[in-house]
Structure 1
Amino acid sequence: MSVSSVVLLPYAPSSVAVARQRLSTDLEDSGVSTGCIDDAVLVVSELLSNALRHAHPLPSGMVRVAWLWSEDHIEVAVSDGGAATEPRAGRPTLSSLGGRGLGIVEYVAESWGVRHDGDTTTVWAVLPAPNGSVNGRTPALKEAG
């Protein structure tokens, strides 16, 4: 059993909260444990915030957020119109005000990376969601709506 969604959102800071809510609701409705949901929401927040801060929108003026949950992992991905530099985890000083996003992703996720497809850049991350992490319910595939 797996659940997946793809959401196109405006290239705007308000989209971070929308993506967090949609992902959280989708995974919660599927019975994923709260801890796994919290990790996935944190990672999506960091990836989307980085896209909005450092990259261009897709040609449509939007950004794409996607996720896939299967029995043992959650994969999240944010696609944008690319940037002048390659996304990489920084090593900020303690007094730095930013630069921790991909470091957080690197810490929380099992793996993460960057894919390029023409002018589209996708930063993805895979998080553990072991079989025992379901909230005592049988996952149910939601109808796309």
Structure 2
Amino acid sequence: MATERSWHMTVPHHAQGTRAARHRLRAELAESVPAVLLTDATTVAAELLGNAVRHAAPLPGGTVRLSWRLCTDTTSQVVEIRVTDGGAGATPRIRRVGPDSADGRGLYLVAALAADWGVARDGLGQSVWAKLRHPAGCTA
């Protein structure tokens, strides 16, 4: 039988707000997922939140929204992370960067850690989401 839990929070569209969101995600998932999945989920959330602050407009009220969902069944645990902002001029995409580039690796890192990721637009704004999967029963 599968279980599912979800969380949502809205924070100010700046670095302090995104830091609070990362800390809350980590605290909420710490007792429920293996350390490797917790680390990967925190890293992905940090990258998506950072991109939202650097590259996108805020939601109304000067905010950004972080949502995450944990689904557990007999074969795996899946953490889906979604960051919603006011959108940017261009659709988020992985960029090619050189070894000396100071930035531009965020979505590359998200794609490397996630089983799947993408971008969705709705009436609220633009969401970038990622799904991270870990085998059930594995504690590494």
SS at match of 2:30: helix
CA distance, structure 2, for counterparts of residue 5 and residue 32 of structure 1 = 15
Listed one character per residue, the Cα deviations across residues 63-116 of structure 1 (whole Å, up to 9, x for unaligned) are 000000011210000000000111001111101000000000010000000000
Per the TM alignment, residue 26 of structure 1 is displaced from its structure 2 partner at its CA by 0.7
The equivalent residue for 1:85 is: 90
CA distance, structure 1, for counterparts of residue 119 and residue 138 of structure 2 = 27
Q: Which structure 1 segments of 5+ residues have no match? A: 136-145
Residue of 2, 6, 18 corresponding to 2:4: 2
**CA separation of 1:63 and 1:118: change in aligned 2, threshold 3 A:** same
Listed one character per residue, the Cα deviations across residues 106-141 of structure 1 (whole Å, up to 9, x for unaligned) are 100000000001360000000013221469xxxxxx
Per the TM alignment, residue 61 of structure 1 is displaced from its structure 2 partner at its CA by 1.3
Residue of 15, 18, 41 corresponding to 2:17: 15
Identity within the alignment, %:
40
Aligned AA for 1:65?
A: L
Computed over aligned residues only, the root mean square deviation of the Cα atoms, in angstroms, reads 1.4
Aligned AA for 1:46?
A: E
Aligned ranges for residues 1-145 of structure 1 at < 5 Å? 1-29=3-31, 31-71=32-72, 72-118=77-123, 120-133=125-138
In the superposition, the TM-score normalised over structure 1's length comes to 0.88
SS at match of 1:129: strand
Q: How many residues align?
A: 134
SS at match of 1:3: strand
Higher relative contact order (CA 8 A, sep 6+): 1
